[in-house]
Amino acid sequence: MALVPSSSVDPPIIPEVEMNGSDLGATTVRATVVQASTVFYDTPATLDKAERLLAEAASYGSQLVVFPEAFIGGYPRGSTFGVTLGNRSVKGKEEFRKYHASAIDVPGPEVDRLASLAGKYNVFLVMGAIERAGYTLYCTVLFFDPQGQFLGKHRKLMPTGLERIIWGFGDGSTIPVYDTPVGKIGSLICWENRMPLLRTALYAKGVEIYCAPTADARETWQASMTHIALEGGCFVLSANQFCRRKDYPSPPDYIFSGIGEEPSPETVVCKGGSVIISPSGTVLAGPNYEGEALISADLDLGEIVRAKFDFDVVGHYSRPDVLSLTVRDHPQEPVLFTSASKAESSEKQ
């Protein structure tokens, strides 16, 4: 791996960590995972930062750029939102109000801007965001193509631990895999990637570039990413934030809980670990624990075929006569209006 300097006059916003490919051809895709922090409670500034990072990645020839979990809207690390069993504090409710205000509507103006950025820099963009749907928030991944089109989204199916007090649950209607010129792209978020049946749903849709935005910086995460690459016969691109305490609002407005003393401004509270892994389980770039970075690799898509020859989890290595999976992939609506259903049925006739 090497640090790649920018060819422009201005220095890069953050260094790119790159693994050079040896035989670039039509089946090679340059991919970048972004390791950087949100500008917390400031979504316009976060979007500006996203553009600078995209511009930098595009200057290195990246065709696919993956951002961390909750990059837009922020991952509220260390916060309890004032919740104890049977009680929610006034301060915690106000904290949620501010977090809700930092989230984005999908579709909405921020999505339009992200789409235009994907078009401007001619990249496929996979962006972690906090989606606002009325008064419920979802941890979501947004997909965009180089023509500046919003392709769709994946909502996190199962938030982890205290995430469940601030985020709603996705359903089977948003588990997409997009067939693109650079490969079939899909995504699961953080500990969803530990759910074997959910992974299998992506494998069944033919995922080739498996994007895994996360908030887990522990070294054990690397074992999960390697396993998924081998199991799915796919490239795995995992992007995490690198954050210091100073990247969050100062106390007493924002308190880090559960870690003893309040950390100093320079304390690393999320050390990244972003990584790119091949279908053979080879680490192509990363993991990086040193700071904000663009981590890139050239993906030889021929590696997928070679890996599937060994093990195709939903193909020649499956046993549907013994084991099978049913995915309920229609939206789960809490309220259905029969008059609306009848009107739709009449229109179809």
Cβ contacts of 36 within 8 Å, gap of 6 or more: 14, 49, 53, 67, 68, 71, 241, 242, 292, 293
Q: Are 302 and 237 contacting, i.e. CB atoms less than 8 angstroms apart? A: no
Between CA 192 and CA 212 the distance in angstroms is: 9
Between CA 331 and CA 168 the distance in angstroms is: 14
Cβ contacts of 336 within 8 Å, gap of 6 or more: none
The pairs formed by 281-285 with CB atoms below 8 angstroms and a separation of 24 or more are 281/226, 281/229, 281/230, 283/226, 284/19, 285/1, 285/17, 285/18, 285/19, 285/33
Between CA 349 and CA 345 the distance in angstroms is: 7
Q: Are 262 and 230 contacting, i.e. CB atoms less than 8 angstroms apart? A: no
Q: How far is CA 37 from CA 56, 68, 77, 89, 305, in A?
A: 16, 9, 12, 28, 35
Q: Are 91 and 82 contacting, i.e. CB atoms less than 8 angstroms apart? A: yes
Between CA 8 and CA 141 the distance in angstroms is: 31
69 is catalytic: yes
Of 56, 69, 95, 110, catalytic = 69
Instruction: Characterize 164-182 residue by residue with b for buried, 16 or more Cβ atoms within 10 angstroms of its Cβ, and e for exposed.
Output: eebbbebeeebbbbbebeb
* Closest C-alpha to 238, from 190, 194, 271: 190
Burial of 51 (0-12, 13-18, 19+ CB in 10 A): middle
> Which residues participate in catalysis according to the annotation?
69
